[in-house]
Amino acid sequence: MELAVRGIEFEILSGKQLLKKEVTESQISDCPIKCFQTMESHFMGIRYVRMPWMYKYLEQNMPDAIVLFYMPANITMWKIVQLCIKRNIPFGIWRCGYIRNDYGNMALGLRNYVIDYVTKRAQVNITYGSYYKSILIKRGIPEDNIIVAQNTIDVEAILQRTKCMEKKFSNKQTKVLFVGALTRAKLLFSSIKAIEKLTKDGYDVEFTIVGGGDVYDDIYRYIHQNNLSGIIKLVGKKINNEVIPFFLNADVFLLAGIGGLAINEAMAYGLPIISTNADWTVCDLIDGNGYFMDKYGDVDLQYDCLKKFISLTLEEKVVMSKKSLELISQKASLCNMVEKHINACEILLRANNVNK
């Protein structure tokens, strides 16, 4: 809608998902969306993706500018970059910047080469947060070519829904929440063990896990084999309004591994946050509020952060809650993200005019 007002035609091209991760896609859009069959293969422990029909479509209908949600293991995106360079079409790259630590040396070297090649040739690099921006600058990307557009959801709608509600806390049980896809990268077993340890040390804690995915069955078995159903609540996948009561009833949100947009959602409901840097986005959002963990899946670190949160007074917890609302509205509103992406599109279109 915003692009149309500015006289910019926008089209979305996407692949069809093959992973087991459960995603609910919005069916509402003001612009045309084309989906293309996705093909995948595996080599050296890396999953490679191709969307050949997307490439053919672009080859025949080349736009004035392109923004890629760039993944180095997506072969089609590499080909699209080469097409842009060959035809002198300005392009932008949108990335979180997170690097998995389970690559072998050869695979990691190849991955880094591809990323450096693409980011240095992109007219615009859009980053999820300031941390990746700082890394790009160290790699020689001019600061003027980098736009920080915090990836987010419609937090304004949540803030409007809860504007007359103040988060209530209790001196009794502390309710810890995780919402997201249940994948191994979330490192949920480390969180469960931290909760176990707190309970054994006499703290009244309940951990609710909302989501579906690859490790759901493993978590279910662990809970029942260790008689943890009284403190660990595994409720399965919830979508849309089904998830609201869990955010409203929780005291604090916990993320031990990499993560998605549930952090933004939790903060919009006024939840204090205990989190790693997730996919290199969260440090901008915590920013002195909540507890930032500099290690992934560290049981003792989660234990210590939860213990510190539990020991706060009710007034101190309310202050953290209000700060979460303030930070999410200032730094990760949907309006802010949309405006930053529009800025990127305008820069690319100006570059196209110069090229002509």
pLDDT of residue 123: 96
Structure tokens at 314: 């009710």
Q: What per-residue confidence (pLDDT) applies to 58?
A: 93
When mean pLDDT is compared across 10-14, 57-61, 164-168, 173-177, the lowest value belongs to 164-168
pLDDT on residue 98:
83
The model's pLDDT over 184-230, given as tens digits with 9 standing for 90+, comes to: 999 999 999 999 999 999 999 999 999 999 999 999 999 999 999 99
Beta strands 146-148; 124-127: pairing state: parallel
Q: Is the dihedral of CA 249, 302, 102, 139 positive or negative?
A: positive
More confident residue, 283 or 132: 132
Closest by CA to 177, choosing from 207, 216, 199, 204, is 207
pLDDT tens digits, 284-312: 888 788 899 999 999 999 999 999 999 99
- For residue 23, pLDDT over 60 is answered with no
Q: How far apart are CA 113 and CA 182, in angstroms?
A: 31
Q: How far is residue 203's CA from residue 185's CA, in Å, rounded to a whole number?
A: 27
For the segment 230-245, what is each residue's pLDDT rounded down to a tens digit? 999 999 999 888 999 9
> Residue 316: CB partners within 8 Å, gap ≥ 6?
none
Does the predicted model carry a pTM greater than 0.95? no
Q: Rounded to whole angstroms, how far apart are CA atoms 167 and 278?
A: 25
pLDDT tens sequence across 236-273: 999 888 999 999 999 999 999 988 789 999 999 999 99
**For residues 126-154, average pLDDT:** 93
Number of helices and strands (H, E) in the chain? 14, 14
CA distances from 98 to 222, 233, 245, 260, 278 (A): 29, 30, 31, 12, 8
